[in-house]
Amino acid sequence: MPDIYGIAAEFRRQLLDHDRAVARELIDYYGGVYRRLQQQTDSLMRQIADARERGEEVSPAWLYRAERLRLLQDQVQAEMQRFADYAGDQITEAQRAAVEMGQQHAEQLALAGLGEPPPGVIVTWARLPRDAVTDLVGFLHDGSPLRDLLDELGPEASRAVRDALVAGVATGQNPRVIARQIRQALGGNLVRALRISRTEILRSYREASHRSYQANDDIMEGWIWHSAKDRRTCMSCIAMHGTKHRLDERLDDHVSGRCTAIPLTKSWEEILGSKGRDIQETRPQIELGADWFARQPEDVQRAMMGPAKYAAWKSGAFDLEDLVGRTRDPRWGTMRHERSLRDILGEQAGQYLDPVRRAAVEKAAATRAAGLAAAGRRAPEQAEARVRRPRSPSP
Ligand SMILES: [Zn+2]
């Protein structure tokens, strides 16, 4: 049977699969929108090219004349509105599934964390009433409706397309260049929609499992920060790994973070009172990230921290937890990040950063010299000429 970390990793995979499936749907749909708008744009670009060929002056006024600009803008807006409708339905549906998933996963993780109950003890898990999670579907973090945000896509795309067109025509750009700028303006909207979708799906999931834990505070003590703990994990998440948190705290790692909250259940004594006193502890024990990091080989430590931070840490200039930075955003709440050496040490950072920079410059120079030497073996005269150049800046 997999342990609680294995289960947590599997749940995380399921959640991300769910997000990816929604993203694929949105991208597919957007593909259709995009192709239809592309035809409209192409036809307008042909008109511009033809008019220029006839010697007409293609100016912003030309665009406004005969409603050329407005027609395209109307089409963009209509297509984007259809996309927003579609995206709104898809995201809401996905949020509903994520809320369900979050609650189920919370229950299974908590029970796995609790371990086998002693004989005669039945642990019951309270399910959340339906209206305890309704605000997690169709609403954004700040409580405003999801649709409001998606509805901004249409007018925004239409404005962006107009700006690209007017600026392109006014400066006499090639229609191909203008078309490319319009494509970019439209592509930005898909990126935004995907970001909204992902953020909101993950939030619904996290919040549902969070509330689920809170509703079971007779069993739950809090949660433990669990990072991926591999070479790609940032040092802030390593420092947070294994730390214990209360039920009312949120796991506030950074955007595209890979950390999860492992439920920390109460001890059997806390749950059962004196009856539970002699029952062996079954809760998972998590080694602190700081301790884990301390026993990694030197090359791993240096690779994960980077050479300057490594040198500073080795000399005792800071502790691992000093690497955890926290920012507060009025819309998204708090978020953690890895602090820079300069942020931690101020002026003092220079003594660690400068040698590293010097070494990098020297290494680059050595690589260049090695390359020239290799080239020299092939064509001695040319290589010599190249080697000389840097020494005599004025030819
Ligand atoms: Zn991180």
The predicted pLDDT at position 392 comes to: 41
The C-alpha atoms of residue 337 and residue 323 are separated, in whole angstroms, by 8
User: How much distance in Å is there from the Cα of 336 to the middle of ligand 1?
Assistant: 8
The predicted pLDDT at position 378 comes to: 59
Residue listed under structure tokens 């940032």: 234
User: How much distance in Å is there from the Cα of 333 to the middle of ligand 1?
Assistant: 17
Which of these, 217, 237, 219, 212, lies nearest to 227 by C-alpha position? Answer: 237
User: How much distance in Å is there from the Cα of 190 to the middle of ligand 1?
Assistant: 26
User: How much distance in Å is there from the Cα of 191 to the middle of ligand 1?
Assistant: 23
User: How much distance in Å is there from the Cα of 254 to the middle of ligand 1?
Assistant: 6
Q: How many CB atoms lie within 10 A of CB 308?
A: 22
User: How much distance in Å is there from the Cα of 158 to the middle of ligand 1?
Assistant: 37
The answer to whether 204 and 95 have CB atoms below 8 angstroms apart is yes
User: How much distance in Å is there from the Cα of 287 to the middle of ligand 1?
Assistant: 17
User: How much distance in Å is there from the Cα of 193 to the middle of ligand 1?
Assistant: 24
User: How much distance in Å is there from the Cα of 227 to the middle of ligand 1?
Assistant: 8
pLDDT exceeds 60 at position 393: no
User: How much distance in Å is there from the Cα of 234 to the middle of ligand 1?
Assistant: 4
User: How much distance in Å is there from the Cα of 305 to the middle of ligand 1?
Assistant: 12
pLDDT exceeds 50 at position 380: no
Q: How many CB atoms lie within 10 A of CB 354?
A: 11
User: How much distance in Å is there from the Cα of 241 to the middle of ligand 1?
Assistant: 10
Which of these, 184, 201, 178, lies nearest to 52 by C-alpha position? Answer: 178
User: How much distance in Å is there from the Cα of 330 to the middle of ligand 1?
Assistant: 21
User: How much distance in Å is there from the Cα of 250 to the middle of ligand 1?
Assistant: 15
pLDDT exceeds 90 at position 228: no
pTM of the model: 0.77
Burial of 296 by CB count in 10 Å (0-12 exposed, 13-18 middle, 19+ buried)?
middle
The C-alpha atoms of residue 176 and residue 355 are separated, in whole angstroms, by 48
Residue listed under structure tokens 């590293």: 356
Q: What SS3 state is found at 219? A: coil
Residues whose CB falls within 8 Å of the CB of residue 19, separated by 6 or more in sequence, listed in order: 94, 197, 198, 201, 202
User: How much distance in Å is there from the Cα of 30 to the middle of ligand 1?
Assistant: 32
User: How much distance in Å is there from the Cα of 28 to the middle of ligand 1?
Assistant: 31
Tens of pLDDT along 143-172? Answer: 778 888 888 888 989 999 999 999 999 998
Tens of pLDDT along 12-30? Answer: 899 999 999 999 999 999 9
The answer to whether 113 and 284 have CB atoms below 8 angstroms apart is yes
Strands (E) across the chain are located at 220-226, 244-246, 260-265, 324-329, 333-338
Average pLDDT score over residue span 202-227 = 92
The answer to whether 71 and 41 have CB atoms below 8 angstroms apart is no
Tens of pLDDT along 258-312? Answer: 888 889 999 888 888 887 777 777 777 788 999 999 999 999 999 999 999 999 9
User: How much distance in Å is there from the Cα of 15 to the middle of ligand 1?
Assistant: 19
pLDDT exceeds 50 at position 249: yes
User: How much distance in Å is there from the Cα of 235 to the middle of ligand 1?
Assistant: 6
The predicted pLDDT at position 44 comes to: 92
User: How much distance in Å is there from the Cα of 328 to the middle of ligand 1?
Assistant: 16
User: How much distance in Å is there from the Cα of 112 to the middle of ligand 1?
Assistant: 26
